[in-house]
Amino acid sequence: MEFIVIVLAGILFATAIYNLLQKQMLRIIIGTVLLSHGAHLMILTMGKLKRGKPPILEEGVANYTDPLPQALILTSIVISFGITSLLLVLAYRTAKTNNTDNMEQLRGETNE
Amino acid sequence: MYKPNDLILRTTTSLIAFILLGFAVYLLLAGHNSPGGGFVGGLVTSAAVILMYMAYGMETIAKIIPVNFRTVIPVGLLIAVGTGLGSFVFDVPFLSHTFGYFNVPIFGKIELATAMLFDIGVYLTVLGVTITIILNIANDQ
Amino acid sequence: MSNLAVLPIIIPLIAGILLAFTNTNVRLSRALTQILTVVNLGVVSFIAWKVFQDGTIVLETGDWIAPYGIVLVADSLAITLVLTTNIIATAAVFYAPHSLSIEKEKHYFYPFYFFLITGVSGAFLTGDLFNLFVFYEVLLMASYALIVLGGNKVQLRESIKYVLINLFSSVLFVTAIAFLYGVVGTVNMAQIAERVQEVEQFGILTTIAILLFFVFGTKAALFPLYYWMPKSYIVPNPVISALFGALLTKVGIYSILRVFSLIFVHKIDLTHETFIWIAGLTMIFGVIGALSTNNIKLIIAYNIIPAIGFIMMGIGTFNQAGLSGSVYYLVHDMIIKTALFLLVGVIAYVAGTSDLRKMGGLIHHYPVLGWLLFISAFVLAGIPPFSGFIGKLLLLKGALQGDHIFIVIIALLSSLLILYSVMKIFIRGFWGEENPLVEKRTTKGFIAPIVFLLLFSIFIGIGAEFIYPAIDSVAVYLLDPEIYIDSVLKE
């Protein structure tokens, strides 16, 4: 099971990098979303996937799943949710004021 | 004049929005010991509000929910941080939490935890942030 | 009393939240911000005094015992940097009302400013690798909001690149933490340090170390990962640039210092040897960048890079002189970079342009500005008896003790070129013919914060006798990870 998930994380990373290297801004944002999904799957697999009951104290259960990766992922998901939404607003405003969503055209020398 | 043909959306929204709002409250309250929590609750609530915005339009909803969602964010943060500050009053390490069992009429014996207060703060923050961001884009036409 | 360690994080956080309510009332916001910043500075000074007196303060948040919960560790290194951060923040906050338009102040400048301080202080104080990532995100989130404040074309264009590169490195950070968790099974820095010594396979650990170095190197703007930094740092308002230039890259270099003195010390001949090479290249390329441009803001932004190189050199040599030089230079550079960014902001404001080719003769009307820039250039380049000199002396001593002659030569040469690059502003901007078209503007209110920072900087140069023992004790402390591990895990 871990093996399949880790391969999946790898595929997510690869598609993310492909999308990040595109010129269109929306594709780049999708790339970042996929990238963070890949990283979250990474964390999840690093704590072993399923080795017991949910990590909530109950009577008669001795084997619990590692709760730490789940806590880490939750934090990380919240953060990437915040950044993605911010990035969407930012990209929208940028595309609107600069009249383009092509990264090739979003450069210039003047900084005034 | 262009009139949108959105009868189905409006009819179902009036039903679904209430289910969503009720479920959000359940998620918020259940969060401490079972799946759920302030973050998910906030997201579900904002989904319901956004759905209503989509079905009935900006002006109508702004009249029905006269809340500036931008001020909801600092209110939520204040509640969340305030929960942490309680630890200074009781002289325990920062963010310590406690819980107890109380007898409440109708519901009987229930468990109340201070983590719940923190969750309400998270709930309000998430609600505020999500709706502010989505309306920010939607209003800009 | 252990709750003291959370105060430098919680005070700015509450201040930021309160100021989000008062954003429409600019005068109230200013007064509140100034009062709260000074209060925070006072509290942090008290904590710093306490730490140097009684030793490290450890706070186990939520009453979870050390390796399981999140710990905040206010040790001598962290609290020194938090104190420096607050000194800079105080200067910046008194400069801000003169530099920012009312529009920008109303648009939540003060809340985001406080969230930035929260994130930076948190990153310095945390004793947990994942929590470090969280505080990185807090400070980055605030910086994303600050960099687009005003929202003009160039700002939006540069900020999207800034956000993307930081987002990418943050995701890599999470991935590196995931790997590390898979190998050692913890994210508490003290416990990682303890377990790393027991792990047999050094290969995977070195890989993770390099991955983390890549992440921190991107944030710290090291060669070859600095390309995103100069242009995005000059687009916002000078006071925001000053905060970015002084704090953000320094958090990156602090993380390298912490991680590579506490955790990854198992293969010093590979990692730290590479650091010295990277430090040398960082210095060379940073200085070349600073010399290549005529934009005064860009000159100062490029000057951040060689400074990072100097600090890196001390980490690379990894002996007592080198490390104390690094810490000394870190403190010195945070203060002087803020002063220079603020100064250049005023110069660009009074000259009406930031292009050196269109400037000239400013000394006739603004003699104070001219001489302040002159002194700052000396402080930056490390002319004795200013603070840069002591830092560089220690760094060079460390390098010579480690027999790294070539890096000494590069460092001395780049110091000279740094002096030239800043003097260029003085020569081209302040000498020569005046531009008659530019109207005269008042510099009232701008000068005091800059003088405050420069005086402080001169104090840590001339008063080295008082400060050096403290910095030296930090270096001794850094060389022995056991002290940190013992104070956190209480064995």
Model pLDDT for residues C27-75, shown as the tens digit of each residue: 898 999 999 999 999 999 999 999 988 888 888 887 777 788 888 999 8
Residues A39-66 have pLDDT tens digits of: 999 888 887 777 777 777 777 777 777 8
Predicted pLDDT at A112:
41
Of A84-93, B84-93, C115-124, C141-150, least confident by mean pLDDT is B84-93
Q: Is the confidence at residue B92, as pLDDT, over 80?
A: no
Q: Minimal Cα–Cα distance from A60 to chain C, Å?
A: 23
Is B95 within 8 Å of C3 when comparing Cβ atoms? no
Q: Is the dihedral of CA C232, C149, C437, C98 positive or negative?
A: negative
- The values of phi and psi at residue B12, to 5°, are -70, -35
Computed over every residue of chain C, the mean pLDDT equals 88
Overall number of domains in chain C: 1
**With bands split at pLDDT 50, 70 and 90, how would you rate the model's confidence at A111?**
very low
pLDDT tens-digit map of C221-242: 888 888 888 888 888 888 999 9
For every residue of C359-406, DSSP letters joined together read ---GGGT-HHHHHHHHHHHHHHHT-TTSHHHHHHHHHHHHHHHTT-HH
Q: How far is C319 from chain B (nearest CA, A)?
A: 36
C361 in Cβ contact with C435 (< 8 Å): yes
pLDDT at C102 over 50: yes
Q: Which candidate from A79, A86, A93 shows the least CB-CB separation from C151?
A: A93
What pLDDT is stored for residue A109 in this prediction? Answer: 59
User: Pick the residue with more confidence: B140 or A29?
Assistant: A29
pLDDT for the residue A108: 67
- Which residues of chain B are within 8 Å of residue A78 when distances are taken between CB atoms? 39
Average pLDDT over residues C380-393: 85
Q: Are C298 and A111 an interchain contact pair (Cβ–Cβ within 8 Å)? A: yes
Residue in B91, B94, B97 closest to C59 by CB: B94
How would you classify residue B37: left for phi > 0, otherwise alpha for psi between -120 and 50, otherwise beta? left
Give pLDDT, residue C171.
Answer: 92
Average of per-residue pLDDT across C137-152: 89
Nearest to C60 among B71, B93, B97 (CB): B93
On the question of pLDDT at B97 being above 80, the answer is no
Count of domains for chain B: 1
Question: Residues B62-77: pLDDT tens digits?
Answer: 888 888 888 899 999 9
Q: Do A85 and B129 touch (CB under 8 A)?
A: yes
| pLDDT of B19 | 93
Provide the residue ranges of all domains of chain A, joining segments of one domain with +.
Answer: 2-51+64-100
What is the C-alpha separation between C415 and C287, in angstroms, rounded? 9
Which residues of chain B does A92 touch, with a Cβ-Cβ cutoff of 8 Å? 137, 140
Residue-wise pLDDT tens digits, C425-459: 888 888 877 777 677 777 778 888 999 999 988 88
- The DSSP secondary-structure symbol of C295 reads B
Chain C positions touching A108 (Cβ under 8 A) are 154, 157
Q: Which residues neighbour B77 within 8 Å (Cβ) at sequence distance 6 or greater?
A: B121, B125, C13, C17, C20
SS3 track for chain A: CHHHHHHHHHHHHHHHHHHHCCCEHHHHHHHHHHHHHHHHHHHHHHCCCCCCECCCCCCCCCCECCHHHHHHHHHHHHHHHHHHHHHHHHHHHHHHHHCCCEHHHCCCCCCC
Q: Say whether pLDDT at B20 is over 90.
A: yes
**In the prediction, which pLDDT does B2 show?**
63
In the predicted structure, residue B96 carries a pLDDT above the cut 60:
yes
Domain that holds residue C389: 267-475
Q: What percentage of chain C reaches a pLDDT higher than 90?
A: 40
Residue B87 is nearest to which of C3, C18, C72, comparing CB atoms?
Answer: C3
Instruction: Select from 1.25.40, 3.40.1660, 1.10.3470, 1.10.287 the CATH code of A2-51+64-100.
Output: 1.10.287
**Rounded to an integer, what distance in angstroms lies between the CA atom of residue A53 and that of residue A61?**
7
* Cβ contacts of A39 on chain C, cutoff 8 Å: 171, 174-175, 178
- The pLDDT score that the predictor gives to residue B36 is 79
Tell me whether residue B117 is in a domain.
Answer: yes
- Residue C12 with chain B: CB contacts under 8 Å: none
Would residue C220 count as lying in a domain?
Answer: no
